[in-house]
Structure 1
Amino acid sequence: MSRTGAMSWRRGLVFLLPGLWVLAVVLWELLSPLGTRFIELLAAAPAIACAGTGRRQCVLMGGGCALLALLPFGGHDVPSGTRLGTCCAILVVVAASYLTTGRRLRLAAELEWFKEIATTTQRALLRPVPPRLAQLALAGGHLSATRGSLLGGDLYEALATPHGVRVVIGDVRGHGLPALATVAALLGSFRDAAHDEAELPDVLRRLERSLQRHLAADRTGHPTEGQDGAGAEEFATLLLLEIRPRDEVLVLNCGHPWPHRLTTAVTGGRCALTEAPGEPLPPLGMFPLPARLPPQRLHPLRPGEALVLHTDGAEDARDPGGGFFPLTLALTEAAREDRLVPGLVVQRVQTALLAHTGGPLADDVALLVLYHQPLALPTPHPPLASSSPCP
């Protein structure tokens, strides 16, 4: 049976259940050889109707059950006062169930409204990356470790600026809703600094100042989950990239995982970890940035190559037996295609990761794919033959 068919079958059963209950009680009352009264069990029918279908069926079912309670069944000599008491009990159950169901429906409507507000807010915070910037095709994806939340402590953004395409991916300490405020502070600062600052180190310094201001304001207010006041250690790992028009790639790494470089099957189909020479900087917020911040250079991003940026949740995800997720292997499978599609790479890695864990994630996971795909130039049409006037 398909999933849709199973859901339809369940809805039909829930709708028929109150009527089946009434029928069973009436037959039991009529056929009981001991003269025992079971008609009081009719009081459960309106409650079942309210729980399964709604208030309208509850009222109709309750009214029918109240009338049945007043009728003599099976020739039993039951005082009229007993029958009237049973009828009143059924009506009380109807009223209580009606009010309870109304409150439940109001709470459900409010919950849906708040979920819609939360979803809209989270999507505005971590907005989808554009499908294309200059010579790059892009796709991003995020998996939250918090149930019912779209976001958590991971962040990413890609912007076309006068200085080239600038990209940030980061991981704020912690995950889930308590980390959203820090994510918002960093993303807001990056979206301004990426356009305003001519040098990549100055963008990073703007992010550091923004994080410090946010943490200072937070510590003087309410400690977030997992903090113990002003002494709590807060930080964020960050990877800043700048891809220049001549395929140059500059990077500043603050304790973040290095990206992977993919090449398609046409050019050899492989996945390799891309690392710059030298040690990365400490995570942002743990120590002040040094006075000199020379950007490191990665190998140029050639046409047909892709950089896959990710947070450590992708590498640290474990299966029930404790085995780590083979991220490099999952990316290698994607690199065997003749043509890389960033959205499909993200989708396949996420699917493989969820299948590997087989349950809820322990940490948020963010992926961002940057694929160098030059625009195909239109084929020029052959010049039209000029016609000359007849002599």
Structure 2
Amino acid sequence: MTAVVTGRQPVLGMLLVGPVLAGARLGPRATAAVALWSIGLSAAIDMWSGEVPPLDAVCDGLVLIAGGAAAVYGAGRRVGREAELLRVVRQSQNAVLRPLALEVGGVSIISRHHPADRSGLSGDLYDLAHSPYGLRVVIGDVRGHGPEAALLCAATVSAFRDGAYTTPGLVDLATHLDTRISPELGPEDFVTVVLAEFVPGEVRLVNCGHPAPLRVGRRVEPLPPSRCSPPLGLHPVPSLQRARFGAGERLLLYTDGLSEARDANGTMFDLDKGVRRALCQPLLEESLDALVSLVTAHAGGPLQDDLALLICEPRAAAHADRPTGPRGSSGSSGPKGDIPALGT
């Protein structure tokens, strides 16, 4: 009998592995099904061998029942914690990615967000602050997806809200964001951001590893930084750039879900004249609808990456008559291209 019992210990251990692994990955019902399967398999082995005393078989069954019950309980606790975490993260996400459609600081702004994850969680972020230094806007992209990325988005937006009203310089604001969120980042995490500050006739930008904004007027003009900087969390070296931004022009801020959207052949979305036509619709909301339709058609279906879009337009241009697209007297005035700041 001792030999039989000793020989059954490895089998009993193997039968317990299934419920334990199921409890760590699956829900309570699936875990219970695996536990019942293990109990049934144990009974079948005992009947087939015919060498296990009834008392030992009952003891083995009780051990499997206890182990299965513990696995089911653990699965229920884990699922409950994950559901609570998801609820909290979604609340944070809703605060971070609240829809924008307003006029503030002399600029009309509208936003659009399309998460790739079915849960609705996103690694993209945007926000604005009507600060003493002018209207400030941030758009960014956290590496990765899911709850962890959403929490990093919330941390970045929180840091922006704290610093936007008290930090005079836009470059200093970028440094503030990096200092605040770096302790929250893992070894391979980073956050790309563009900070924009609007003053009459001009937009000031700080870009840390993010796709360049597009200025749309008579043509589509990317506004890349004169000196590239790594993203937040990777020792950024932010620099200030200044660009004309007047009546009859629009500024598109976006995440790489737009510029890196691919078709069936792997060709990336082209920020060409089609984008200009989309962004020249009379209303900003119509422009966003047209742009989303354009990139979705290019991808041939739902987008595989998160997408966040912001369109900004000087308020004076919002009521201008633009039958063929944004343009105006200030569209041809002012300096050409970007003007590097005199210092950081």
Band the TM-score falls in, shorter-chain normalisation: 0.5 to 0.7
Q: C-alpha separation between the residues in 1 aligned to 2:304 and 2:252?
A: 21
* Structure 1: tracts of 5 or more residues without a match: 1-111, 220-231, 378-391
Query: Taking structure 2 as the reference length, what is the TM-score of the superposition?
Result: 0.63
**CA 1:117 to 1:358, structure 2 compared with 1: closer, same or farther past 3 Å?**
farther
Which residue of the partner structure matches residue 95 of structure 2? 124
**Aligned equivalent of 2:144, options 174, 188, 211:** 174
- 1:248 counterpart = 2:198: no
- What percent identity do the matched residue pairs reach? 35
Q: C-alpha separation between the residues in 1 aligned to 2:317 and 2:266?
A: 44
TM superposition shift of 1:306? 0.6
**CA 1:134 to 1:317, structure 2 compared with 1: closer, same or farther past 3 Å?**
same
- 1:305 counterpart = 2:249: yes
Which residue of the partner structure matches residue 348 of structure 1? 290
**CA 1:117 to 1:190, structure 2 compared with 1: closer, same or farther past 3 Å?**
closer
- Stretch moving more, 301-310 or 248-257: 248-257
Which residue of the partner structure matches residue 357 of structure 1? 299
TM superposition shift of 1:212? 1.2
**Equivalences for 1:97-112 in 2 at 5 Å?**
none
Q: C-alpha separation between the residues in 1 aligned to 2:153 and 2:107?
A: 25
**Aligned equivalent of 2:224, options 262, 275, 280:** 275
TM superposition shift of 1:316? 0.8
Contact kept in structure 2, 1:317 and 1:362, CA below 8 Å:
yes
Q: C-alpha separation between the residues in 2 aligned to 1:370 and 1:141?
A: 12
Contact kept in structure 1, 2:89 and 2:147, CA below 8 Å:
no
**CA 1:148 to 1:164, structure 2 compared with 1: closer, same or farther past 3 Å?**
same
Which residue of the partner structure matches residue 237 of structure 1? 192
C-alpha offsets along residues 164-206 of structure 1, whole Å, 9 cap, x if unaligned?
0111111111123330111011000001100111111221111
**CA 1:198 to 1:122, structure 2 compared with 1: closer, same or farther past 3 Å?**
same
- 1:157 counterpart = 2:151: no
Contact kept in structure 2, 1:133 and 1:159, CA below 8 Å:
no
Q: C-alpha separation between the residues in 1 aligned to 2:269 and 2:312?
A: 22
Which residue of the partner structure matches residue 240 of structure 2? 295
TM superposition shift of 1:326? 2.6
Q: C-alpha separation between the residues in 2 aligned to 1:203 and 1:280?
A: 17
Which residue of the partner structure matches residue 112 of structure 2? 141
How many aligned positions are there? 238
**CA 1:115 to 1:192, structure 2 compared with 1: closer, same or farther past 3 Å?**
closer
Q: C-alpha separation between the residues in 2 aligned to 1:121 and 1:207?
A: 18
Q: C-alpha separation between the residues in 1 aligned to 2:256 and 2:195?
A: 16
Please give the secondary structure, in 1, of the residue aligned with 2:176.
helix
Which residue of the partner structure matches residue 264 of structure 2? 320
- 1:207 counterpart = 2:177: yes
Q: C-alpha separation between the residues in 2 aligned to 1:206 and 1:376?
A: 33
Q: CA RMSD in A?
A: 2.7
TM superposition shift of 1:132? 0.8
Q: C-alpha separation between the residues in 2 aligned to 1:235 and 1:113?
A: 26
- 1:259 counterpart = 2:213: yes
C-alpha offsets along residues 310-329 of structure 1, whole Å, 9 cap, x if unaligned?
11121111112222223334
* Structure 2 letter corresponding to 1:302: G
When Rg is computed on C-alpha atoms for both structures, the one with the higher figure is 1
Q: C-alpha separation between the residues in 2 aligned to 1:211 and 1:346?
A: 30
**Equivalences for 1:362-377 in 2 at 5 Å?**
362-374=304-316
C-alpha offsets along residues 219-259 of structure 1, whole Å, 9 cap, x if unaligned?
5xxxxxxxxxxxx3111111111112x22221111111111
Query: Taking structure 1 as the reference length, what is the TM-score of the superposition?
Result: 0.56
Contact kept in structure 2, 1:317 and 1:357, CA below 8 Å:
yes
* Structure 2 letter corresponding to 1:192: D
C-alpha offsets along residues 79-126 of structure 1, whole Å, 9 cap, x if unaligned?
xxxxxxxxxxxxxxxxxxxxxxxxxxxxxxxxx999987655432222
TM superposition shift of 1:375? 8.1
Contact kept in structure 1, 2:124 and 2:306, CA below 8 Å:
yes
Q: C-alpha separation between the residues in 2 aligned to 1:281 and 1:274?
A: 14
**CA 1:335 to 1:351, structure 2 compared with 1: closer, same or farther past 3 Å?**
closer
Contact kept in structure 1, 2:280 and 2:287, CA below 8 Å:
no
Q: C-alpha separation between the residues in 1 aligned to 2:286 and 2:138?
A: 21
Which residue of the partner structure matches residue 79 of structure 1? none
TM superposition shift of 1:159? 1.7
**CA 1:350 to 1:116, structure 2 compared with 1: closer, same or farther past 3 Å?**
farther
Q: C-alpha separation between the residues in 2 aligned to 1:376 and 1:171?
A: 29
Contact kept in structure 2, 1:145 and 1:176, CA below 8 Å:
no
* Structure 2 letter corresponding to 1:373: R
Large movers: runs of 4+ above 6 Å: 112-118
**CA 1:114 to 1:205, structure 2 compared with 1: closer, same or farther past 3 Å?**
closer
**CA 1:144 to 1:330, structure 2 compared with 1: closer, same or farther past 3 Å?**
farther
Contact kept in structure 2, 1:144 and 1:176, CA below 8 Å:
no
C-alpha offsets along residues 121-165 of structure 1, whole Å, 9 cap, x if unaligned?
43222222241112211111111111131x411111122111001
* Structure 1 letter corresponding to 2:314: H
Q: C-alpha separation between the residues in 1 aligned to 2:101 and 2:162?
A: 17
Which residue of the partner structure matches residue 92 of structure 1? none
Q: C-alpha separation between the residues in 1 aligned to 2:86 and 2:161?
A: 27
